[in-house]
Amino acid sequence: MEILGTTLRICVDDLDAATAFYERLTGSTAHRFDRGGVSAAAVGCFLLMSGPAAELEVLRKVTATIAVNDVEETYAKLSAVGAQVVAGPLATPVGRNLLAVHPDGSVFEYADRKTAS
């Protein structure tokens, strides 16, 4: 399993204001999208999310998103080292992901860019 990078997940009340700040901070243009009632903006290594409190409560439990080459390989590695995969692997609009709880209780999303053929 190769870790390619991480995305920091931030829940915000005002997505427009937060997006403008992070665009200025990073010099990047946001990629905006909606999923499951949550509006999001990816800006550099930051993923800003805004939406209903119940949705954000769940999202706040995920520490970070970790980019990997292959979610299936990552699933096997996580299982072998004692992590508990609680969701996935699942297809997303940009690839596949899974959620895993590490033995210390930390929750991480692992994602790749492999889409269905």
Q: What is the CATH number of the domain that holds 113?
A: 3.10.180.10
Examine residue 1 and state whether it is found in any structural domain, yes or no.
Answer: no
Task: Note whether 66 and 89 are same-domain residues.
Answer: yes
Residue 10 is predicted with a pLDDT of 95
From 43, 20, 23, 41, select the one nearest 32 (Cα to Cα): 41
**96-110 average pLDDT score:** 95
Q: Is the domain of 51 the same as that of 65?
A: no
Q: Which residue has the tokens 């969701």?
A: 87
CA dihedral over 88, 35, 32, 55, signed as positive or negative? negative
Do 69 and 117 lie in one domain? The reply is yes
Boundary residue ending a domain (19, 34, 60): 60
Q: Is residue 101 classed as helix, strand or coil in its secondary structure?
A: strand
* Cα–Cα distance, 78 to 85 (Å, whole number): 7
116: pLDDT confidence band, cut at 50, 70 and 90?
A: low
Count how many domains the chain has: 2
Per-residue pLDDT reduced to its tens digit, 30-76: 999 988 889 999 999 999 999 999 999 988 999 999 999 999 999 99
Range of the domain at 71: 61-117
